[in-house]
Amino acid sequence: MPPTFTSGIPIYVQIADNIRDQILRGALRDGDQLTSTTEYATTYRINPATAGKAFAILVDEGLVEKRRGIGMFVAEGAHASLVEEGRRTYVDETLYPAVEAGLALGLDLDTIATNVRAYDAGSRTKEDS
């Protein structure tokens, strides 16, 4: 989904996030060429320097590489890197706090695990206890 640039988040951050999301979802694959900063700026009616700043962030993160005279490309291993980081972030920022919240509400680990397995099996029946 293309960025809309309506939030209070800086445009270059939204562009970088959008490209990361495209890489993670597979819409952009390792080795794919990205739209040029000029084309990006023209399409979204933004300053080319803003698009360039987004690409510079992605280069610094190792997700995109600049090939002189050719353009910007998704770096080899970019998808795997984003998946690994996403999993780590999910566990640290979502899973552990959710388990801790469940425990604080009096659920035991077996009940939490049973509900996770039921969700995985497609069942939305929740077990209390």
35-94 confidence digits (pLDDT tens):
999 998 999 899 999 999 999 999 999 999 999 999 999 999 999 999 999 999 999 999
- Can you give the pLDDT at residue 56? 97
Indicate the pTM of the whole model.
0.74
Burial of 58 (0-12, 13-18, 19+ CB in 10 A): buried
Of residues 60, 25, 61, 58, the one with CA closest to residue 40: 58
- Can you give the pLDDT at residue 1? 54
Residue-range domain boundaries for the chain? 11-76, 79-120
Residue 121 has pLDDT above 80, yes or no: yes
Looking at per-residue pLDDT, the higher value among 89 and 1 belongs to 89
CATH architecture, range 11-76: Orthogonal Bundle (1.10)
Q: Is the distance from CB of 24 to CB of 18 less than 8 angstroms? A: no
